[in-house]
């Protein structure tokens, strides 16, 4: 396919140059946005009298037909073309002759590509947000079913204090709700029209940028043409929001992987969302969770690539910026793929409540509550802490738990203890006494679920 910029060149482009220079393999996915952007531009050119109304109408008609033809498969995108913009404009000219050549009036591929990526990414943000909402919804349902499922809460991966599985899941819910909010924020800043910036210095034609912005659903127009064509902050912001989503999914995956091990056995994944080993017949592996954890590295790599591409280029457009698309599209596609697999995996997993409870019963995770019991009887917290520590040592010595340690042993350490201590260290009570806002008690769980559900319904 011919280049758009042939006029000043005497020789044909070397094949190696075209292969290296061409971006069609990764920007052809923007065909719909490219055409819609061009339709809006052509309409504006007609409305402002920059080109004849009749010609503008023909261009709009021609572009609409090209869109239909690509969608129906009757027009194949030429992978030898320099990029999607060149291909569409070339096809339009092939169909309309002279009239097609008027489309690029008052426009450059530099502001055109900046427009197309924004349009594509706005759509992708909506899709990823929808998928995040689905995951949040699944977590809310699972939390609802596990309000009474006692499990150990950990610090340093050591059993620490009793919580419920609902509370643990809702921690991820809180992270994902922030992710959702971040995406909304990225989209808001992205939703500014660059078209009209021209190659770098705007244009001498009396264009109506606000009209184009309105037609294409942009909130505003960029106010500096150099910035309009050279800004890729929105790609970097999106890649960093996506990286945080992957951090959260990766931490969650790590826990799923641990919980699936025989050492924990807190959950069992559905057969449809696990894999086997080619040699060890007993194995059931959490491959999805491991892959999600692994793929986080890809997305962080995409973010690093974008930051590195952008950090040293003088204003305005430089060809380096063509590298933006592979990185950001890879990040977008990876996150979507991860969510597609992760959400049903969580939805279908079985929670092994008894195993969680047994783990909670063995780790002295009610020791803080035991100390609080003594504080309730008037002891300073530090003395209560020391006495409870001694009790734990006695338990370890005798192979007992705080629940099974006889009252005489309690009294031998501190005579303030009475038989009501057993009620005070009951795990269910320990959890449900943590009534402060943000804690694992039922009222707080209900409030967390309600707040998350409100967010996903909005
Ligand atoms: N394919 C190019 C890109 O993605 C389009 C812009 C080309 N602009 C130029 N001045 N060569 O960046």
Q: Which of 1, 13, 110 is the pocket-test mutation for ligand 1 (most atoms within 8 Å of CB)?
A: 110
Rounded CA-CA distance 232/227 in Å is 9
For the CA of 27, the closest atom of ligand 1 is: 4
Q: For 300-315, b where at least 16 C-beta lie within 10 A, e where not — what string?
A: bbbbebbeebbeeeee
Q: Which of 54, 64, 261, 277 is catalytic?
A: 277
Beta bridge partners of 283: none
For the CA of 321, the closest atom of ligand 1 is: 12
Active site residue 156: yes
Rounded CA-CA distance 186/191 in Å is 9
- State pTM to two decimals: 0.94
Rounded CA-CA distance 29/361 in Å is 55
The pLDDT tens digits for 370-379 are 999 999 999 9
Rounded CA-CA distance 453/69 in Å is 42
193: CA distance to ligand 1 center in Å? Answer: 17
Give mean pLDDT, residues 164-168: 97
Is the pLDDT reported for residue 1 higher than 70?
Answer: no
At residue 5 the predicted structure's pLDDT band, cuts being 50, 70 and 90, is: low
The pLDDT tens digits for 262-272 are 999 999 999 88
Tokens found for residue 71: 């969608």
Active site residue 167: no
Is the pLDDT reported for residue 4 higher than 80?
Answer: no
The pLDDT tens digits for 386-412 are 999 999 999 999 999 999 999 999 999
Q: Percent of the chain, pLDDT > 90?
A: 90
Pocket of ligand 1 from Cβ distances under 6 Å:
23, 27, 83, 109-110, 113, 317, 319, 321-322
**Which residue from 196, 253, 259 is spatially nearest to 222, judged by alpha carbons?**
196
Side-chain-facing half-sphere of 82: CA atoms under 13 Å: 17
| One-character DSSP codes across 422-449 | HHHT-HHHHHHT--STTSSSHHHHHHHH
Give mean pLDDT, residues 380-385: 95
118: CA distance to ligand 1 center in Å? Answer: 15
What per-residue confidence (pLDDT) applies to 278?
Answer: 75
Q: Report yes or no: 413 and 401 within 8 Å, Cβ to Cβ.
A: no
């Amino acid at each position: 396919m011919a280049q758009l910029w042939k006029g000043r060149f005497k020789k044909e482009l070397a094949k190696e140059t075209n292969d290296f220079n061409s971006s069609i393999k990764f920007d052809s996915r923007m065909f719909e946005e490219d055409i819609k952007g061009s339709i809006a531009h052509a309409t504006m050119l007609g409305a402002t009298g920059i080109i004849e109304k009749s010609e503008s109408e023909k261009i709009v008609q021609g572009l609409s037909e090209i869109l239909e033809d690509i969608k129906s498969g009757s027009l194949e995108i030429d992978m030898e073309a320099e990029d999607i913009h060149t291909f569409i404009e070339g096809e339009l000219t092939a169909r309309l002759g002279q009239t097609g050549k008027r489309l690029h009036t008052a426009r450059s591929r530099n502001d055109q590509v900046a427009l197309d990526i924004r349009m594509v990414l706005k759509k992708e943000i909506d899709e990823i947000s929808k998928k995040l909402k689905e995951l949040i919804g699944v977590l809310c349902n699972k939390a609802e079913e596990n309000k009474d499922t006692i499990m150990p809460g950990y610090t340093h991966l050591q059993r620490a204090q009793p919580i419920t599985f609902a509370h643990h899941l809702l921690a991820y819910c809180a992270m994902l709700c922030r992710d959702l909010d971040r995406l909304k924020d990225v989209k808001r800043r992205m939703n500014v029209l660059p078209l009209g910036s021209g190659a770098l210095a705007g244009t001498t034609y009396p264009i109506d940028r606000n009209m184009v912005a309105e037609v294409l659903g942009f909130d505003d127009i960029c106010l500096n043409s150099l910035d309009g064509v050279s800004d890729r902050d929105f790609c970097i912001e999106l890649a960093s929001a996506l990286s945080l989503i992957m951090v959260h999914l990766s931490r969650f995956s790590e826990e799923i992987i641990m919980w699936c091990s025989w050492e924990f056995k807190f959950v069992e994944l559905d057969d449809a969302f696990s894999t086997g080993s080619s040699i060890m017949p007993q194995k059931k592996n959490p491959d999805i969770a491991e892959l999600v954890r692994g793929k986080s590295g890809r997305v962080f790599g995409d973010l690093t690539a974008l930051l590195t591409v952008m950090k040293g280029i003088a204003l305005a457009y430089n060809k380096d910026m063509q590298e933006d698309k592979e990185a950001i599209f890879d990040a977008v596609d990876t996150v979507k793929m991860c969510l597609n697999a992760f959400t049903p995996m969580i939805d279908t997993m079985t929670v092994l409540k008894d195993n969680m409870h047994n783990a909670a019963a063995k780790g002295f995770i009610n020791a803080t509550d035991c100390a609080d019991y003594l504080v309730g009887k008037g002891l300073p917290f530090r003395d209560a802490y020391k006495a409870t520590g001694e009790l734990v040592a006695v338990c370890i010595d005798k192979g007992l738990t705080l629940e099974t340690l006889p009252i005489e042993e309690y009294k031998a350490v501190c005579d303030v203890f009475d038989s009501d201590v057993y009620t005070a260290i009951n795990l269910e009570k320990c959890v449900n006494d943590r009534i402060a806002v943000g804690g694992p008690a039922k009222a707080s769980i209900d409030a967390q679920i309600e707040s998350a559900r409100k967010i996903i319904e909005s």
